[in-house]
Structure 1
Amino acid sequence: MELKNRQWTHDQFNAVRQEVLNHWPTGKEVDFAAAVKYHEAIPAKRQFAKRLVKAKKNGETLTQPRAGVALIDEHIKLLNYLLTEGEADLLPTTIDSYTRQNQYKEAQNGIEESLKAGRSLLNGFPAVNHGVAGVRRVVESVNAPLQVRHGTPDARLLAEITLAAGYTSYEGGGISYNIPYAKEVSLEKTILDWQYCDRLVGLYAEHGIEINREPFGPLTGTLVPPSISHSVAVIEGLLAVEQGVKNLTLGYGQCGNLLQDVAAIQALEQLAEEYFSKHSCADCILTTVFHQWMGGFPQDESKAFGVISWGAATAGLAKATKVIVKTPHEALGIPTKEANAQGLKATKQLISMLSDQALPATKELEDEINIIKAEARCILNKVVELGQGDYALGAVRAFAAGVLDVPFAPSKYSLNKILPARDNNGAVRLFDVGNLPFTPDLIAFHHDKINERAKAEGRDPSFQMVIDDIYAISKGRLVGRPR
């Protein structure tokens, strides 16, 4: 099928669907009509979209962890523990690495070995292998809204099975689950594959079933400038809405500077509304998600709680609709359920304490919002120009030209020419703007900010700043200053 930002017809979708459902035997369990009836019976308190709408209306910031293990009963126990002990508002099902790479045979081996060992030997929940019936056991055993979280370039069968089983939110996108996760997979393929996922959600919407969609905001997670992640979020949002998605959550990963992070969440919502209005997408409900720090963590648990709490406070002050919570075991590997609950409770405490507070609307905050939006507009307008009005084609061409670029990405389809570094106040700027289509004044702004820091530190601007900043938080600082 030729890549275009056009809604797939029913015939186009169904032609591909037959192939997708045959990727693994459990695909035969999918019955769309029966799935629609099942969703109709799900109470509102367990529907992701409705809970997000309520939170946005009431000014709440909801908490959500990451979590997933190999076996159904153990996964149910884990989620219920995070609901009761961790006081989570929303719950995930994090998918294992084999499923993310469509290696279902290996995932099945992992299930069998986990059964023998009596514990999970996979780093997530292999939903495709468990099938509709198995996944539905999870849905019916957990009294909270459930979302699928993964990192899968080709997530079509996973979407079919988990949505048919009753999940009411699905994360990912053709850019955000390719560029940060895959090396050899083309953007044409992943954008097409994710158009399928979005069209599936659109078909549910046509039958009155509202399923939330959430592109992955943090991208590579470390020092990603807000305008880069915002540009990807808006593009993936527009692509999703074209396929019929009606409830969308756009995300952003914490950079660490309070003013910039609060400005970023506000700018993200404003940009999305601006571009959605331009393209007649006003009937889509938008919410935001703030991801706590995605880079390196201190190994010491007490210090890790400091990083978690800073992310919680920022999410609360930014008034994000929800926050994805980290654990004090981030530097150590897969967390225990107890550590996961601790991160949730620490986050909830901070958000609760800040619920009646707001960051003052200062000129500095307004300036930062305007800078982020100006940079993102430069990128987005160039993307649509390269695509001759088509964001799908434009995204592919923009990455090829470096007009859109993601730092530290493994994908060979991202030029990796841009280099981020912090300014003297810890905000993420660009040491090298690469081929980004910024105006001369925006390029000068970044140049001046990096030079200002270099002067304060008594050294020349250099790549060493980038390296220092990558490791700074794990070493107890925000800015990687020389000793």
Structure 2
Amino acid sequence: MTVLVPGRPTQAEPGFGAFVRARARAGALVVQPRMGFGDPERMRAGLAATKAARGHTAGTLTLDSYTRVGDLAAVEHARREDLPLNGYPIVSHPDATTRAMLAGVRDAGFPVQVRHGSALPQHIFRKLIALGLDATEGGPVSYCLPYGRTPLAESIAAWRQCTEMFSRLRDQGAEPHLETFGGCMMGQLCPPSQLVALSVLEALFFRAYGCRSISVSYAQQTHAGQDTEAVFALRRLCAELLPDVDWHVVVYAYMGAYPVTETGAYRLLGEAAELAVRTGSERLIVKTVAESRRIPTVSENVAALEYAARAAVAARPVPAPDTDTQTYAEARALVEGVLNLHSDLARALLLAFERGCLDIPYCVHPDNRGRTRSRLDAEGRLCWAQTGALPLTRLVRTGRGREVTAAGLLADLSYLRSKYDREALYDHAPAEVPSADPA
């Protein structure tokens, strides 16, 4: 890898985005875990196992929850008392420790992305820059509203600062890459059109403040056909609005209540891989059979990566729709509604939530109006039940018969888990289930 020396321009290496795009041109889907361990030796072993997995893989350093919220005193206490952490405390480990952990593992053929979940990530970005790590993810909305009570204005200001700071890695010979988490907002029960719109808006935010290598995310939802429509809408909007950006699409395996049966879990993961290939997406974030119970082991992550890679090889792309779909029309209206509020995207996002032009169902953050609701229809499609002040009046019909009840909400939240576990119990042709030894 290029050694980054502050103030000394170097020959730029391709970077994370170029790595993914190169695999896509060769017809391969990049598969990636969400893996993080507090111990550097275990973290190195996890990255090495990911690199050695059968498939086209990228590595992940997922940070611990204390680092995410800036509680570094709690990290120090955990390390002093030898208490387990649920991720890698990159800010608290000496730089030499992290460099040694990555040495010989991270290289041009195996990039590593840092994942964190912080609304105020300045301390994390400063560490990434010091270490020469050039790929991370998040966003001013998607890493703020679901995770706590940090004021949205503070998150937007912090992410603007971090994007500008991160983009200056180009002066040191790197091509920094940011992935928007907007397409995974709340994990579930956010209608696909809003997931698409938020992903596009955060990508536009990153571009506005200097980033030129971006990935846009979409989380698998409850209906394969609707998901296909949504990813194609996302791709079309990016092509229209990000013509000067090197972008790709990353699909997330379902982020809601996961099946408890191994067969059900693998079937759902296989459908995520098929969704990615079907829509021309370039990267997939996998989930494992352990998701419904605990943090997965390294070997469970590897088993999921290899299963997804095999499912991807067997899948085939399909043509994009040649007319406007409902999801595209809704997403376009949401994006335009925000962009029309102010020429400064940071200000536009704030105004959008103040006025309800963006409003996330079931999100209790103080800066979210909370006047929208969603529900599943009889076919399992995720639909708007109430649109509040969203600019969707002419596109979405709501009214009597669409009320959301507590029982209905609970049923919707467990819909996919129940569906895939039920099929696993009664289907006589179960999905292939690979073995994974504990590690």
Q: State the TM bucket, normalised to the shorter chain.
A: 0.7 to 0.9
CA distance in 1, matches of 2:366, 2:264: 36
Change (3 A) 1:35 1:326: farther
Superposed displacement of residue 85, structure 1? 3.7
Quick one: which of 258, 265, 270 aligns to 2:231? 265
Contact 1:249/1:288 (<8 A) preserved: yes
Q: Which residue of 1 aligns with 2:417?
A: 474
Q: Which residue of 1 aligns with 2:105?
A: 142
Q: Which residue of 2 aligns with 1:300?
A: 261
Structure 2 letter corresponding to 1:246 = R
Change (3 A) 1:329 1:478: closer
> What per-residue deviation string (whole Å, max 9, x for no partner) do you get for residues 145-189 of structure 1?
00011100111121121232132211111111101112x211111
Superposed displacement of residue 317, structure 1? 1.3
CA distance in 2, matches of 1:284, 1:235: 14
> What per-residue deviation string (whole Å, max 9, x for no partner) do you get for residues 291-332 of structure 1?
010000122223211221221221221221100000100110
CA distance in 2, matches of 1:373, 1:36: 44
Q: Which residue of 2 aligns with 1:374?
A: 329
Say yes or no: does 1:253 pair with 2:219.
Answer: yes
Q: Which residue of 2 aligns with 1:205?
A: 170
Q: Which residue of 1 aligns with 2:47?
A: 79
Structure 2 letter corresponding to 1:185 = T
Change (3 A) 1:59 1:36: farther
CA distance in 2, matches of 1:207, 1:198: 16
Contact 1:401/1:435 (<8 A) preserved: yes
Contact 1:48/1:145 (<8 A) preserved: yes
Structure 2 stretches lacking a partner, 5+ long: 423-439
CA distance in 1, matches of 2:374, 2:200: 21
> What per-residue deviation string (whole Å, max 9, x for no partner) do you get for residues 78-102 of structure 1?
1111221464511110000000010
Say yes or no: does 1:406 pair with 2:360.
Answer: yes
Change (3 A) 1:312 1:218: same
Quick one: which of 363, 376, 393 aligns to 1:439? 393
Contact 1:261/1:318 (<8 A) preserved: no
3-state SS in 2 of match to 1:287: strand
Summarize the alignment of residues 59-208 of structure 1 with structure 2, pairs less than 5 Å apart. Answer: 59-85=27-53, 87=55, 89-114=57-82, 121-143=84-106, 144-182=110-148, 184-208=149-173
Q: Which residue of 2 aligns with 1:358?
A: 317
Q: Which residue of 1 aligns with 2:284?
A: 323
Contact 1:205/1:246 (<8 A) preserved: no
Task: State the identity %.
Answer: 26
CA distance in 2, matches of 1:380, 1:408: 21
Q: Which residue of 1 aligns with 2:433?
A: none
The Cα RMSD (Å) is: 2.5
Summarize the alignment of residues 44-63 of structure 1 with structure 2, pairs less than 5 Å apart. Answer: 44=14, 47-63=15-31
Q: TM-score, normalised by structure 1?
A: 0.80
Change (3 A) 1:467 1:176: same
Contact 1:296/1:331 (<8 A) preserved: yes
Q: Which residue of 2 aligns with 1:19?
A: none
Superposed displacement of residue 52, structure 1? 1.8
Larger fraction in helix: 1
Structure 1 letter corresponding to 2:49 = Y
Q: Which residue of 1 aligns with 2:180?
A: 215
CA distance in 2, matches of 1:64, 1:131: 26
Contact 1:139/1:165 (<8 A) preserved: no
Structure 1 stretches lacking a partner, 5+ long: 1-31, 277-281, 455-459
Change (3 A) 1:239 1:360: closer
Superposed displacement of residue 437, structure 1? 1.2
Task: Give the number of aligned pairs.
Answer: 416
3-state SS in 2 of match to 1:255: coil
CA distance in 2, matches of 1:35, 1:263: 44
Superposed displacement of residue 443, structure 1? 1.8
> What per-residue deviation string (whole Å, max 9, x for no partner) do you get for residues 342-390 of structure 1?
1111111100111xx22355xxx556x5212211222222222333x22
CA distance in 2, matches of 1:385, 1:394: 8
CA distance in 1, matches of 2:76, 2:370: 36
Summarize the alignment of residues 457-468 of structure 1 with structure 2, pairs less than 5 Å apart. Answer: 464-468=407-411
Structure 2 letter corresponding to 1:204 = L
> What per-residue deviation string (whole Å, max 9, x for no partner) do you get for residues 88-146 of structure 1?
511110000000010011112222333xx6xxx01000000014322222332314100
> What per-residue deviation string (whole Å, max 9, x for no partner) do you get for residues 267-302 of structure 1?
1121123233xxxxx331111100010000122223
CA distance in 2, matches of 1:226, 1:332: 27
Contact 1:132/1:162 (<8 A) preserved: no
Contact 1:379/1:404 (<8 A) preserved: yes
Q: TM-score, normalised by structure 2?
A: 0.88
Change (3 A) 1:36 1:137: farther
